[in-house]
Amino acid sequence: MDTHFAQRRRRDLIVAGCLAVVAALVPLFVKDVYVQNIMVLTLMYAALSQSWNILSGYCGQISLGHALYFGLGAYTTALLFTKFGVLPWFGMLAGGAISAVIAMALGYPCFRLRGHYFVIATIVIAEIALVLIQNWDWAGAALGIDIPVRGDSWLKFQFTRSKLPYFYFALALACIAWFVTWWLEDSKWGYWWRAVKDNPDAAESLGVVVFNSKMGAAAVSAFLVAVGGSFYAQFVSYIDPESVMGFQFSLLMALPAVLGGIGTLWGPVLGAVILIPLTELTRSFIGGSGRGVDLIVYGALIVVISLALPRGLVSVFSWRKEAAR
Amino acid sequence: MTAETIIQSLASGLLMGLLYGLIAAGLALIFGLMDVVNFAHGEFLMIAMYATFFLFAFFAIDPLLAAPLVAAALFVFGALVYLLVVRFAMRAKANAGMVQIFSTFGLAIVMRGLAQFFFTPDYRSVTNSWLGGKTVSIAGIYLPEPQLIGAMLSIAAFVALYFFINRTDFGRALEATREDAGAVALVGIDKNRVFALGWGLGAALVGLAGAIMAIFFYIYPDVGASFALIAYVTVALGGFGSVFGAFAGGIIVGLVEATTALILPPSLKSVGIYAVYLLVVFIRPRGLFGSM
């Protein structure tokens, strides 16, 4: 591509590297556990949203059922560990692989659907999976799974004394998701996806295999989201169907990208950095439990941003204009 | 399982299905008119149910009498939502589909939050209404009166809607705008006005449904969410945008739900509906009655 584009990509990589280093240093100065907790969640949602963005943003197949893959990751890891003693690291890879396969199996019939039919199919499929897990006794049914604590170790990926290891893993995950997106953006896949998003019929006539492009995006997206789910299971050490596969996760994954800029490299990161601390803070300071102020702030933000800045917050930065286009 | 139980549950399924049709009618109307899915549809139902509850609690107005008032209030609300939110979403030059989905989704979240804030998350119910808890027996089949009256109202609403769309000037303007929004401007029809009225009408229909639902269903801030998903399935089954497809879709959903409840444990009740949705769109990607 043109040198301008190459320059932009190099600059993106340098900026990302610097940001990662700065982020890695933050916990040295911020010791407050509450704040560290918010940072872990922010990084996790940045990673999740970045992964969601691959299928829904770049490829244009808006999924509101990604909680399915998040839950699959969490459940695979937790079940393998509690039932068979398999280390979470393997569980993580297994969860990712299972999710990628399931995403493709589901994509096979679903990618023929267009527009709202597709969106509703994704919601419905995640909802079916949720109900099935809630009724699956071996997997703990509605009560979920308590992951037994066997002491602090990287091997078992459990840490009780400090949140720092989780922080660094979440940071690594966010970096990987970002890097995969960065790398794919300029690969043949990236071009196919944008072509499929803009005009599937024209793409098809130009020789892009639309169906395979969507399948590829779904597999990558599901794999990364499942790894996020595995991480979350270890982080909270207790999972139940509603808390890892509920519809709100599908929404929470989509919102940072929507806010920051759907189908952009930096949108999910920017969105997560603003949205997650904001919701956590409103929840604890204004919200209280069950009063719903956090929902009001949250929802209003979504309405205003999606109406005023359909390209997301990244479009505000003028030097990003060409990236958002 | 006797033949009687089967007929009994299919009959209640049919009544519930007619109500589902009424809930979904507004969603289908709005979609047909302007290709927009209102993701806050369930929350429209929720505020209609709250409105009914408060009219009953404070003014002792029975839900049946409150229904027209609630429908009228929802009409205004729906038109306002169009004028204040959706109108701007339609203008989005980039990511149009995404903007539509998330602006109405955001609205849904705000409405849920406001309901929690003002009404608390407590479950409320209308007790001692005229119809609440009463049943009639027809040929040995017991039918709950609220659902029966609701089903009849639903049929009446669809008949009225049919005449309204086919016989009145506004109905013709609605159809014309749906066919070609650009061309109607040339004959002097204000597109925005038609859209606003369409949203009003769609919301009024769900308002009517909400007033009936309030008689026999718990009222809480998240109540809309589960009905919304059923409404999307109903509308999709009928073929997005076909108001009368929603009627047929509602009946199918009601019957499928009742059948699932007969075969599977109650906790799996919703799976049947979702499976039918998937089955239908996988075979016919534009729904049962949608044009291909």
Q: What is the pLDDT of residue A179?
A: 92
DSSP of B204-254:
HHHHHHHHHHHHHS-B-TTHHHHHHHHHHHHHHHT-TT-HHHHHHHHHHHH
pLDDT digits (tens, 9 = 90+) for A87-120: 888 889 999 999 999 999 999 999 888 888 888 8
- Please indicate whether, in this complex, the C-beta atoms of A298 and B109 are within 8 angstroms of each other: yes
- Please indicate whether, in this complex, the C-beta atoms of B102 and A258 are within 8 angstroms of each other: yes
- Please indicate whether, in this complex, the C-beta atoms of A116 and B106 are within 8 angstroms of each other: no
Length, in residues, of chain A: 325
- Please indicate whether, in this complex, the C-beta atoms of A290 and B105 are within 8 angstroms of each other: no
- Please indicate whether, in this complex, the C-beta atoms of B113 and A293 are within 8 angstroms of each other: yes
Structure tokens at A112: 């023929």
Return the sign of the alpha-carbon dihedral for residues A85, A88, A93, A96.
positive
Classify each residue of B205-215 as buried b or exposed e, where b means 16 or more C-beta atoms within 10 Å of its C-beta. Answer: bbbbbbbbbbb
**Residue A62: which of B93, B97, B282 has the nearest Cβ?**
B97
Kindly state whether A11 is in contact with chain B, defined as any CB-CB distance less than 8 angstroms: no
Q: Which of residues 221-260 of B touch A (CB under 8 A)?
A: 221, 225, 229, 232-233, 236, 240
Residue B231, Ramachandran bin (φ over 0: left; ψ between -120 and 50: alpha; else beta): alpha
Q: How many Cβ pairs closer than 8 A exist between chain A and B?
A: 138
**Residue B236: which of A120, A304, A310 has the nearest Cβ?**
A120
- Please indicate whether, in this complex, the C-beta atoms of B110 and A131 are within 8 angstroms of each other: no
Residues of A in contact with B221 (CB under 8 A): 292
Euclidean distance between the first and the last CA atom of chain A, given in angstroms as a whole number:
16
- Please indicate whether, in this complex, the C-beta atoms of A124 and B95 are within 8 angstroms of each other: no
pLDDT at A7 over 90: no
Q: For B286, which residue in chain A has the nearest alpha carbon? A: A117
Give me the half-sphere count of Cα atoms (radius 13 Å) on the Cβ side of residue B220.
11
Residues of B in contact with A112 (CB under 8 A): 282, 285
Query: Which residues pair with residue A175 across a beta bridge?
Result: none
Kindly state whether A134 is in contact with chain B, defined as any CB-CB distance less than 8 angstroms: yes
**How many Å separate Cα B39 from the centre of its chain?**
12
Calculate mean pLDDT across residues A27-39: 86
Average pLDDT in chain A: 86
- The helix (run of H) or strand (run of E) holding residue B135 is strand B135-138
pLDDT category at A324 given cuts 50, 70, 90 is: very low
pLDDT at A2 over 80: no
**Residue A131: which of B88, B110, B271 has the nearest Cβ?**
B271
Tell me the one-letter amino acid at B44: F
- The helix (run of H) or strand (run of E) holding residue B162 is helix B145-167
Kindly state whether A115 is in contact with chain B, defined as any CB-CB distance less than 8 angstroms: yes
Kindly state whether B89 is in contact with chain A, defined as any CB-CB distance less than 8 angstroms: yes
* Domain chopping of chain A, boundaries: 3-324
Q: Compute the distance between CA of residue B204 and CA of residue B31 in angstroms, rounded to an integer.
A: 15
Residue A4, Ramachandran bin (φ over 0: left; ψ between -120 and 50: alpha; else beta): alpha
Kindly state whether A282 is in contact with chain B, defined as any CB-CB distance less than 8 angstroms: no
Q: What is the pLDDT of residue A325?
A: 44
Q: What is the pLDDT of residue A289?
A: 55
- The helix (run of H) or strand (run of E) holding residue B144 is strand B141-144
Instruction: Pick the more confident residue, B152 or A160.
Output: B152
Instruction: Pick the more confident residue, A37 or A295.
Output: A37
* Domain chopping of chain B, boundaries: 25-223
Contact residues for B56 (Cβ-Cβ < 8 A; gap 6+): B62, B63, B66, B126, B129, B214
- The helix (run of H) or strand (run of E) holding residue A294 is helix A293-308
Query: Which residues pair with residue B124 across a beta bridge?
Result: B219
Q: What is the pLDDT of residue A287?
A: 56
Calculate mean pLDDT across residues A278-300: 76
User: What are the per-10-residue average pLDDT scores of chain B (292 residues)?
Assistant: 84 92 92 87 96 93 93 97 92 81 91 91 85 80 87 92 86 81 79 90 95 92 89 85 86 92 84 90 78 46
Q: What is the pLDDT of residue B53?
A: 95
Q: Which of residues 252-271 of A touch B (CB under 8 A)?
A: 254-255, 258, 262-263
**Residue A62: which of B98, B106, B240 has the nearest Cβ?**
B98
**Residue B281: which of A113, A300, A307 has the nearest Cβ?**
A113
Q: Which of residues 108-137 of B touch A (CB under 8 A)?
A: 108-117, 120-121
Decide yes or no: CATH 1.10.3470 for domain A3-324: yes
Kindly state whether A288 is in contact with chain B, defined as any CB-CB distance less than 8 angstroms: no
Residue B132, Ramachandran bin (φ over 0: left; ψ between -120 and 50: alpha; else beta): beta
Length, in residues, of chain B: 292
Classify each residue of A28-60 as buried b or exposed e, where b means 16 or more C-beta atoms within 10 Å of its C-beta. Answer: eeeeeeeebebbbbbbbbbbbbbbbbbbbbbbb
Q: Compute the distance between CA of residue A193 and CA of residue A178 in angstroms, rounded to an integer.
A: 17
Residues of A in contact with B283 (CB under 8 A): none
Let me know the angle formed at the C-alpha of A86 by A128 and A47, rounded to the nearest 5 degrees: 60
- Is the separation of the CB atoms in B250 and B24 below 8 Å? yes
Residues of B in contact with A290 (CB under 8 A): 116, 120-121
- Is the separation of the CB atoms in A286 and A294 below 8 Å? yes
Q: What's the pTM? A: 0.88
pLDDT category at A223 given cuts 50, 70, 90 is: very high
Phi, psi values for residue A40, rounded to 5° = -60, -45
Instruction: Pick the more confident residue, B261 or A4.
Output: B261
Query: Which residues pair with residue B142 across a beta bridge?
Result: B137
- Please indicate whether, in this complex, the C-beta atoms of B282 and A109 are within 8 angstroms of each other: yes
Q: For A117, which residue in chain B has the nearest alpha carbon? A: B236
Query: Which residues pair with residue B59 across a beta bridge?
Result: none
Q: Compute the distance between CA of residue A256 and CA of residue A174 in angstroms, rounded to an integer.
A: 13
